[in-house]
Amino acid sequence: MERNLALEFVRVTEAAAIAAAKWMGKGDKIAADKAAVDAMRSRFNSVDFSGEVVIGEGEKDKAPLLYIGEKIGTGKGHALDIAVDPLECTSNLANGKPNAITVLAAGPKGTLLKAPGTYMDQLCVGAKAKGTIDITKDVKTNLKNIAKGLGKPLSDVVVCVLDRPRHEKLIKEIRAAGVRIRLIEHGTVSGGVAAALPDSGIDVMMGIGGAPEGVITAAAIRCLGGDMQGILKPHEEKFSKQAKAMGLKENQVFKLNDLVKTNECQFVATGVSDGPLLKGVVFQNSHIVTHSIVMRAKSGTVRFIEAIHRN
C-alpha cells in the first residue's frame, strides 16, 4: 500500500472530526454521527483507490453509517478493505465528554475480517507481552503471564475495562488478582491502542466491546507489534445468523492474524474531543487545529500529526 494513501486517509479522519466536533455537547449523537459520516464519505470519494467498507458502524446504534459493502474512492488504484468508525464515543461527544475520535483501518482486499455489528470479547496487549495471552484461560492466569512478559509485578499492571454491568464479574476477578483498573465510559479503540503504546499508563485492555471496533483496534495493534485475541458475542439472534453466514463459528477464537491478515495495513485516527490518545478539535477565529495518529504496520512507523486548517 502506498505511503501517500496514509496522508490521504488522515485528511479523511480530519474532515470527519471537524464536522463532528461542531456538535460537541449539543445532546444529539445522531446528528454528530451523521456529520462525521457525510464528511468521511465525501473525502473518501476524492481519493484515488478502489475501496470497499468491510467494517461499518451504525446498525448496532441505529445511526447513519458507511454501510458494509459500500464502494468508496474514485475506483482508481489499490483495491482496499476499509474498516471505519466515523465517530467512536458518539454519546460522549453529544454530552460534551472526552475521548471521541474518528477512526479507520485499511488493508489490501480480503485482509480485514468481516464481522457483524455486534459484540466481541477482546484481549489486547503491547509488544512486550506478545505471545503471553490466551483468551480461553481465566483472568488471573492471563494477568500473571502478561505481567511476566512486561517484566513488572502484578500490582503495577493496569487493565483498561469498559464500565458496563456485564463486566461486574470481570472487574471483581481483576481486583482479586491484585491488578489496578482504568474504567472508561466508551472508547474501546482508544483503550486497546493505549495498551500497545509505550508510556500510555495502560498495559492491557479486556472485556466485551463492539466487534467492528475490535477489527479496527486489531489493525492498530498489528502496526504497534502487539497482540490481540477476540471471540464474537452476538447480542441478538440476527447477529448469530449473520456471523454464521459470514463463515464465522460460535466461540471461535480470532487471533491477531485472523482479524488483520497482513502487514500492509494502516490505522488512522483524529481526535474529536480530548482523550488519552489524542487532543480534540480546537476552533480558532481564523483556523481549526486537529491532532491525529497515523500507523503503518510494514514500516512500524507511528506519526502524531498536528494540522492547522484555515477557516
Structure letter (DSSP) for residue 199 = T
- Model-level pTM? 0.93
d(CA 84, CA 279): 20
Q: What is the pLDDT of residues 187-208, one digit of tens each?
A: 999 999 999 998 899 999 999 9
Share of the chain above pLDDT 70, in %: 96
Q: Which amino acid is at 299?
A: S
Chain mean position to CA 260: 13
Chain mean position to CA 128: 20
Q: May I ask the CATH class of domain 3-112+264-310?
A: alpha beta
Cell 494540522, located at residue = 307
Cell 464500565, located at residue = 163
* CATH number belonging to domain 119-257: 3.40.190.90
Higher pLDDT, 172 or 276: 172
Q: What is the pLDDT of residues 218-246, one digit of tens each?
A: 999 999 999 999 999 998 899 899 888 88
228: nearest Cα among 198, 199, 200, 194: 194
Q: Report which secondary-structure segment, H or E, holds 29.
A: helix 29-44
Q: Where are the domains of the chain?
A: 3-112+264-310, 119-257
